[in-house]
């Protein structure tokens, strides 16, 4: 019996050591994802926020600026993707001219949103502490709000003409997702601005 005990004990010790090696990493990983979860709780769409950002936890760590930057990056990428989808939709043969026009109108709004998000990202990359900080953050907030407004007006053409159906449904799905991501990014930008304000 005792002959089996030693190897078993050694194996148990070995496993414990393995856990000791693994633990610090998972603990930090957990802190990072918890930070994202906590930060996302101030947004209007916390689940979307968490799902879109948690894969970048290792890069974001607990840095509110990188968090805001990543949220803007994710938003811009989704907005660009929507624009591609809308262009393809507008090229479908057999759409009613009024449907094509509504898709193209929406695509134009999305194009404006892309410019504004791009501008915000450029500026966020140049934000520095000091007297300019508030001007820069205020510009960024203005541009991201403008992007949100553009996205919100995207469906106007469809609503005005009571257009329903598959094209409208696809445009709506993409537009809503992009608007929710933008709203979340704006909330995280506001959090970053106020976290800086809390600094001495
Ligand atoms: C944002 O995207 C750019 C270009 O795609 C990349 O270089 C940058 O590292 C990203 N920043 C963050 C914080 O994710």
Domains of the chain plus CATH, in order, are 2-197 (1.20.140.40)
Question: For the CA atoms of the chain, what is the radius of gyration?
Answer: 23
- On the question of pLDDT at 116 being above 70, the answer is yes
Question: Does position 184 have pLDDT exceeding 90, yes or no?
Answer: yes
Q: Which residue has the higher pLDDT, 195 or 108?
A: 108
Question: What value does the mean pLDDT take over residues 11-37?
Answer: 68
Q: Cα(30)–Cα(58) distance, rounded to whole angstroms?
A: 10
Once rounded to an integer, what is the mean pLDDT over residues 24-43? 86
* pTM of the predicted structure, to 2 decimals: 0.85
Distance 167 CA to ligand 1 centre (A): 32
Residue from 69, 71, 114, 121 whose mutation best tests the ligand 1 pocket (most atoms within 8 A of CB): 69
Nearest CA to ligand 1 atom 5: 73
State how far the Cα of 78 lies from the Cα of 88, in Å rounded to an integer: 16
The percent of residues above 90 in pLDDT, for the chain, comes to 74
**pLDDT for the residue 24:** 46
Kindly tell me if the per-residue pLDDT of 23 is higher than 80: no
Q: Residue 22: is its pLDDT beyond 90?
A: no
Kindly report, residue by residue over 80-111, the tens digit of the pLDDT: 999 999 999 999 988 999 999 999 999 999 99
Identify the three-state secondary structure at position 131.
Answer: coil
**Percentage of the chain exceeding pLDDT 70:** 84
For the CA of 56, the closest atom of ligand 1 is 14
Which pLDDT tens digit goes with each residue over 37-71? 999 999 999 999 999 999 999 999 999 999 999 99
Per-residue model confidence (pLDDT) at position 1: 47
Q: What's the helix, strand, coil split of the chain in %, to 5? A: 85, 0, 15
């Amino acid at each position: 019996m005792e002959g089996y005990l030693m190897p078993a004990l050694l194996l148990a010790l070995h496993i414990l050591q393995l856990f000791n090696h693994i633990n610090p990493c998972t603990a930090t990983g957990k802190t990072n994802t918890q930070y994202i979860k906590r930060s996302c709780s101030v947004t209007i769409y916390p689940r979307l926020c968490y799902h879109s950002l948690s894969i970048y936890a290792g890069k974001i760590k607990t840095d509110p600026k990188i968090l805001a930057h990543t949220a803007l990056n994710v938003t811009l990428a989704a907005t660009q993707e929507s624009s591609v989808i809308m262009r393809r939709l507008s090229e479908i043969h057999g759409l009613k001219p009024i449907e094509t026009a509504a898709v193209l109108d929406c695509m134009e709004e999305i194009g404006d949103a892309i410019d504004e998000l791009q501008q915000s990202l450029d500026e966020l990359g140049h934000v520095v502490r000091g007297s300019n900080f508030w001007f820069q953050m205020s510009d960024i907030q203005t541009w991201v709000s403008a992007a949100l407004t553009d996205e919100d007006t995207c469906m106007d053409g469809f609503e005005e003409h009571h257009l329903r159906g598959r094209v409208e449904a696809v445009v709506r799905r993409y537009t809503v997702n992009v608007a929710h991501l933008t709203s979340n990014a704006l909330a995280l930008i506001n959090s970053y601005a106020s976290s800086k304000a809390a600094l001495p």
